[in-house]
Amino acid sequence: MAGMIVIYKQPADAQAFDRHYFETHIPLAKKIPGLKKYEVSQGPITVLAGPSDVYLIGTLHFDDLDAMKKGFASPEGKAAGADRRLYAPDESGVQIFIFDSREV
């Protein structure tokens, strides 16, 4: 499996973020070819030291890195990427990690 973890910092307007993320972005992203599963965090996000400035974590799953690359190169993948830049325009509000994984 390959994964993409997208970590969003606390937005200035959480209601506007949620509305756009859940009503617009997720439906766009779910059309990406090869996407196997899309998960989002629920409730407050903490670290061992206590509260954090992380608002939401999205995790996307693909069969492998090649499938992910092809998915994001598709028109649907490009549309989802462009949409993400509407509500998280630069790296100050979002971190994205891409990785391959194996079950142990």
Q: What is the per-residue pLDDT across 61-84, written as a single tens digit (0 to 9) for each?
A: 999 999 999 999 999 999 999 999
CA dihedral 52, 14, 9, 82 (to 10 degrees): 160
Question: Shortest CA distance to 32 belongs to which of 83, 89, 70?
Answer: 70
Residues 30-54 have a mean pLDDT of 94
Amino acid at 23: E
* Mean pLDDT value across the chain: 94
Total Cβ atoms within 10 A of residue 46: 10
Domain that holds residue 89: 2-100
Q: How many folded domains does the chain comprise?
A: 1
- pLDDT band of residue 92 (cuts 50, 70, 90) is confident
Look up the CATH number of the domain holding residue 62. 3.30.70.100
Question: Shortest CA distance to 22 belongs to which of 61, 72, 56?
Answer: 56
Query: Model's pTM, two decimal places?
Result: 0.91
